[in-house]
Amino acid sequence: MERFRLQTALDIRKRLEKLKQKEYAQQLQVAKNLEVQIEQAQQSIEQSDLQADSLKTGILSVQVLQGHNAFKKRLLYQIDLLEQRLQEQNQLVAVKRSEVAQAGQKRRALEIIKEKRELLARKKQERLERSQMDEIAQNFVLKQVKRV
pLDDT tens by residue, 88-116:
999 999 999 999 999 999 999 999 999 99
Please tell me whether the overall predicted TM-score, pTM, comes out greater than 0.85 for this model.
no
Q: What percent of the chain has pLDDT over 90?
A: 70
The whole-number pLDDT of residue 58 equals 66
Instruction: Tell me which amino acid residue 146 is.
Output: K
Angstrom distance (rounded) from CA 45 to CA 73: 9
Query: Rounded distance, CA 20 to CA 22, Å?
Result: 5
pLDDT in tens, 57-90: 666 677 777 888 898 999 999 999 999 999 999 9
Q: Is the pLDDT of residue 56 over 90?
A: no
- Name every residue whose Cβ is closer than 8 Å to that of residue 71 and which is 6 or more positions away in sequence: 48
Q: Give the closest residue to 89 by CA, choosing from 147, 15, 34, 46.
A: 34
Measure the CA–CA gap between 13 and 118, rounded to whole angstroms: 19
Averaged pLDDT of the chain = 90
CA 4 to chain centre: 27
DSSP string, the chain: -PPPTTHHHHHHHHHHHHHHHHHHHHHHHHHHHHHHHHHHHHHHHHHHHHHHHHHHHS---HHHHHHHHHHHHHHHHHHHHHHHHHHHHHHHHHHHHHHHHHHHHHHHHHHHHHHHHHHHHHHHHHHHHHHHHHHHHHHHHHHHHHH-
